[in-house]
Chain A
Amino acid sequence: MTHPDSDVLAEFRAGLVTGRRRAAIASHLTACDRCAGLSDQLGELTALLAAGGPPAMPDDVARRLDLVLATEAANRNSSERPVEDSAAHRASDPGPRRSRNYRLITQRILLPAAAVIVLAAGGYGLSRVAGGSSPSRAASGTAAAPAVSAAASAFSAPSASAHGLAKPASGAGLRSVAGPAMEAPVTFQVVTSVTDYRRPTLAQQLEHELRSYPRAAERPQLLTSGPVKGCVLRVTAGTSPGTVVLVEKARFQGQPAIVIVAVSGHHDQAWVTASGCSASGDQVLATATLPGTSTP
């Protein structure tokens, strides 16, 4: 017979060749050093692949996944709590409402629609933009998930932590879809974090970031002027400034970036830009739409 090629020999060795053909190949191998050598190499390959055993999970990956699972557990626990849908809440937000339970459940089931805009920014950190100057915004609170202390870092780089997340200013409602636009000047609260957003998980990371921030740091950075504020206003042009719920100086794909989230209808719209972003120019790196994470 002609010399079998490596595909045939591999199938022969795997027992996929039967009958007279198998017998012919077996006979050939006893007489052909070249093919016997090739078959030998295939056998060595199997042993070579098995050598060494599985690699241990790196510690940073293990920590990250532990945090992810802890966050999932916290989210599950929080979503199982009864929800008080107070009349005050309903009065403060005349727009369509969904129950908090329903919202959290859908957040876990539905993939967030992508529409975040990533702005590459200078320093990095997480800024919570609260339209502090808007007296019309309802103090409707923030999303549930109070136990998500690890959420901010759970989806970030292994060494990232959630420190620096700002609490919204008192009276800063997160969703005022039907409310009047915020008057200028707008005051943004900025908080710094080291979250490293990744394109494939951007929306998911933001969902967790938004849910975690009610527990976040107490040191908002107020931006009454400057390039970040200009950047925010430029990027969110067309959106009521009063609906901006998050400005985050963080990282995107390892690079310094600013993430901005604003309410848009029943969704949260997010933007990410680079360090050069200002009132005069922006560089949008990515966009995503979140399923209204900040809705109370």
Chain B
Amino acid sequence: MPGTDGEWASDADLLRRHVAGDSDAFGELFRRHRDRLWAVALRTVCDPEEAADALQDAMISAFRRAADFRGDSAVTTWLHRIVVNACLDRLRRRAVRPVTSAGDEQALEALAAHDPDPARAADTRLDIDAALRHLPPPQRAALVMVDMLGFSVDDAAAILDTSPGTIKSRCARGRARLLPYVAHLRGNRSATERVSPAQGSDP
């Protein structure tokens, strides 16, 4: 979105303009990042409907609290943090209800419905999404941030409001816990994509 001087507006510019009363700025900011925000919500709550509700809660909260943003992190970090918190809040409230089983095919199909991958990859994604449900929400959120969305450990720590060491630990435990559920997918990746132990540590 061009700024008032015709230059491309940064995220921080858009947020400032929103706080100043620009009625279009926040919508533009949201549209700029919505796919990643959606991915975070969807993978964290593992339910499309809950994800949409959580994202709605988060965006309303961000819209209203924009003036509180102090600029000590990137705007995207701030937005992701609000989304993750909204998701974790929903998961905590949902904790009193039975967790949807991994066999909930309808929900899983919805999760994969927008995956651009071909059929096999979509099946793989379904299995991964099902496996993710077995993780405690904090581990899942860390794994989604780092492994699935490619955030650095430091950025994930900022988003999840914890230390980098905790993020590494949650990711490690999450991977170990996830392993039995995705063992059958090993053949879905080509040998050239495999990571050998000689390549060293994970990020």
Which residues from chain A sit less than 8 Å from chain B, CB to CB?
5-7, 9-16, 29, 36, 38-58, 61-62, 64-66, 68-70, 72-74, 76-77, 80, 108-109, 155, 198, 200-201
A52 touches B121 (CB 8 A): yes
A5 to B115, CA, bound (A): 34
B113: A residues at CB distance < 8 A? 58
- Most chain A beta carbons < 10 A, residue from B114, B193, B199: B114
Q: How far is the CB of B87 from chain A (nearest CB, A)?
A: 13
Whether a CB of chain A sits under 8 angstroms from the CB of B117 is yes
Assembly CA distance A68 to B92 (angstroms): 24
B115 touches A55 (CB 8 A): yes
**B24-39 contacts to A (CB < 8 Å):** 24, 26-27, 30-31, 34-39
Quote the shortest CB–CB distance from A76 to chain B (angstroms).
Answer: 7
Docked pose: A47 CA to B149 CA in angstroms: 11
Interface pair A13/B64, CB less than 8 Å apart: no
Q: Kindly report which residue of chain B lies nearest to residue A43, judged by CB atoms.
A: B195
Bound CA span A99–B186, Å: 64
Residues of A contacting B: mostly: helix
Q: Which 6 A-B pairs have the closest CB atoms?
A: A43-B195, A54-B39, A57-B38, A10-B172, A49-B147, A6-B176
**Chain A proximity mask over B155-187: 1 for CB below 8 Å, otherwise 0:** 000000000010011011101101100110110
Q: Is the CB of A9 within 8 A of B176?
A: yes
Is B35 a contact of A56 with CB atoms below 8 Å? yes
* B197 on the A face (CB < 8 A): yes
A43 touches B197 (CB 8 A): yes
Say yes or no: is B128 at the interface (Cβ < 8 Å to chain A). yes
A-B contacts, 23 of them at CB < 8 A, read: A13-B172, A16-B165, A40-B194, A42-B175, A42-B202, A43-B194, A44-B189, A48-B128, A49-B128, A49-B147, A52-B124, A54-B39, A55-B115, A61-B38, A61-B52, A62-B31, A65-B30, A66-B31, A70-B27, A72-B26, A73-B26, A74-B23, A108-B64
Are the C-beta atoms of B38 and A46 separated by less than 8 Å? Answer: no
Q: Are A10 and B36 in contact (CB under 8 A)?
A: no
Chain B positions within 8 Å of A48 at CB level: 124, 128, 182, 185, 188-189
Indicate whether A62 sits within 8 Å of B34 (C-beta atoms), given known contacts A46-B175, A49-B147, A54-B39.
yes
If the complex has contacts A52-B115, A54-B38, A73-B23, are A43 and B172 also in contact, measured as CB distance less than 8 A?
no
**Given A11-B169, A14-B169, A55-B115, A46 and B176 contact (CB-CB distance below 8 Å):** no
Residue numbers in A under 8 Å from B150 (CB-CB): 50
The answer to whether A54 and B194 have CB atoms under 8 Å apart is no
Asked if A15 contacts B179 (CB within 8 A), the reply is no
Note all chain B residues with C-beta closer than 8 A to A44: 186, 189, 193-195
Partner of A55, one of B38, B147, B165: B38
Contact A76 B23 (CB under 8 A): yes
Contacts of B31 in A (CB 8 A): 62, 66
Complex alpha-carbon distance, A29 and B198, angstroms:
10
Besides A13-B202, A64-B56, 17 other A-B contacts (C-beta < 8 A): A6-B176, A12-B201, A14-B171, A16-B169, A39-B197, A44-B189, A47-B194, A51-B189, A54-B38, A55-B35, A55-B116, A57-B34, A66-B31, A68-B60, A70-B27, A73-B27, A76-B23
Residues of B within 8 A of A57 (CB): 34-35, 37-38, 114
**0/1 string, B106-129, CB within 8 A of A gives 1:** 000001111111000100110010
Rounded to whole angstroms, the CA-CA distance of A5 and B177 in the bound complex is 11
Contact B30 A69 (CB under 8 A): yes
Find out whether the CB atom of A198 lies under 8 angstroms from the CB atom of B53: yes
Identify which of B38, B176, B188 contacts A7 (C-beta below 8 A): B176
Chain A residues in 8 Å Cβ range of B172: 7, 10-11, 13-14, 16
Other-chain contact of A56, B116, B168, B175, B195 (Cβ < 8 Å): B116
Contact among B116, B193, B197 with A36 in the assembled complex (CB-CB below 8 Å): B197
Q: Looking across the interface, which residue of chain B has its beta carbon closest to that of A38?
A: B179
Is the CB–CB distance between B59 and A69 below 8 Å?
yes
Q: What is the CA–CA distance of A43 and B175 in the complex, to the nearest angstrom?
A: 9
Residue from B35, B60, B188 having most chain A Cβ neighbours under 10 A: B60
Docked Cα-Cα span, A68 to B116, in Å, equals 27
Contact (Cβ within 8 A) A69 B179: no
